[in-house]
């Protein structure tokens, strides 16, 4: 969907700035993220942690904008010649909904890559590995306010392929598969809480039996909302916890895992920019493997 297009079932009354059912401030700047048109690039990384935004921006070649409002930290600059942005979402699908809605209001047709952390559910996965999500189990309820319960949360194929290509190029160990997006960290992921009863103590084992590779708390909202907006979205996470062994990452190993995740996310944006250039040259809006060129010279649209 391009700027100005309206979905058939969209409520066009929200086009009026006087419609007070939605929180629209005076002027162009969005209510929660505090950004306006032109502040963000069309290629965007989405970490959860606002402090991770600063560490990601430190990898940029140039920085044109840095901003914080509430828990939402943002930066825009260039990375190896490509204009890119990073916006933190905070924890949870409810925060992702806020960020996506406001980013979509001030961009044309953005590409999103979540760079986060997760808990591994399969025994072959090690701390520090990367996970690339093909789809997400919607254990949360945020997306139910947009789509039917059976609606799938699916990563865009170009984003998935770009993340695989990036992880391979950088030499990072990774796994590809299904993610479960939970609405919380403790009971919502089947973690025991001494002071509280939990309803599904075997949830992690159930997900593992169904070949789900990891737990996290944001992916399904990003994938569903990006699909509805006709945007690309992908998810790469670093394994911080292993639910089968009870191990949790810390220290320098945690820093290295975060760095691998961020590097892969940034590299995937470059890959998708190359895909876009190849689509443009071929006169198509769908990338396919036969368009790929061995020429590694970046050519951005």
Per annotation, catalytic residue among 32, 55, 59, 69: 32
To the query of whether residue 243 is one of the catalytic residues in this protein, the response is yes
Determine whether 175 is an active site residue: no
Could you give the angle at which helices 251-282 and 50-57 cross, rounded to 10 degrees?
70
Locate 39 and state its tokens. 């502040």
Catalytic option among 138, 175, 191, 232: 191
280 part of the active site: no
Which of 97, 102, 140, 165 is catalytic? The answer is 102
Has 32 been annotated as catalytic? yes
Active-site position among 52, 175, 232, 243:
243
Assess contact for 275 and 166: CB atoms under 8 A. Answer: no
Specify the long-range contacts of residues 76-79, CB closer than 8 Å, at least 24 apart: 76/39, 76/40, 76/41, 79/266, 79/269, 79/270
How far apart, in whole angstroms, are the C-alpha atoms of residue 300 and residue 109? 15
Distance CA(179)–CA(216), nearest Å, equals: 7
Residue of 234, 34, 208 lying closest to 115 (CA atoms)? 234
Distance CA 7, CA 121 (A): 38
Active-site annotation, residues? 32, 102, 191, 243
């Amino acid at each position: 969907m391009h700027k100005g297009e309206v979905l058939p079932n969209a409520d066009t009354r929200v086009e009026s700035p006087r419609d007070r059912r939605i929180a629209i401030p005076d002027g162009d700047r969005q209510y929660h993220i505090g950004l306006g048109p032109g502040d963000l690039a069309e290629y965007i990384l989405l970490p959860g942690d606002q402090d991770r935004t600063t560490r990601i921006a430190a990898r940029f070649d140039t920085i044109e904008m840095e901003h914080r409002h509430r828990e939402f930290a943002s930066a825009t600059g260039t990375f190896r010649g490509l204009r890119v942005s990073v916006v933190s979402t905070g924890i949870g699908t409810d925060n992702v909904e806020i960020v996506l809605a406001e980013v979509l209001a001030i961009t044309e047709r953005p590409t999103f890559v979540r760079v986060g952390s997760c808990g591994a559910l399969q025994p072959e996965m090690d701390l520090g590995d990367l996970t690339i999500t093909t789809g997400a189990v919607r254990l949360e309820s945020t997306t139910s306010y947009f789509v039917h319960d059976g609606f799938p949360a699916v990563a865009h194929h170009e984003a998935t392929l770009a993340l695989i290509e990036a992880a391979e190029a950088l030499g990072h160990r990774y796994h590809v598969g299904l993610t479960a997006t939970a609405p919380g960290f403790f009971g919502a992921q089947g973690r025991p809480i001494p002071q509280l009863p939990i309803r599904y103590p075997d949830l992690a084992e159930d997900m593992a039996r169904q070949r789900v590779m990891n737990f996290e708390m944001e992916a399904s909202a990003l994938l569903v909302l990006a699909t509805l907006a006709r945007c690309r979205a992908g998810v790469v996470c670093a394994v911080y916890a292993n639910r089968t062994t009870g191990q949790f990452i810390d220290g320098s190993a945690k820093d290295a895992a975060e760095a691998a995740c961020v590097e892969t996310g940034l590299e995937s944006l470059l890959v998708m920019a190359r895909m876009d250039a190849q689509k443009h040259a071929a006169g198509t809006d769908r990338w396919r493997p036969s368009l790929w060129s061995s020429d590694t010279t970046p050519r951005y649209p």
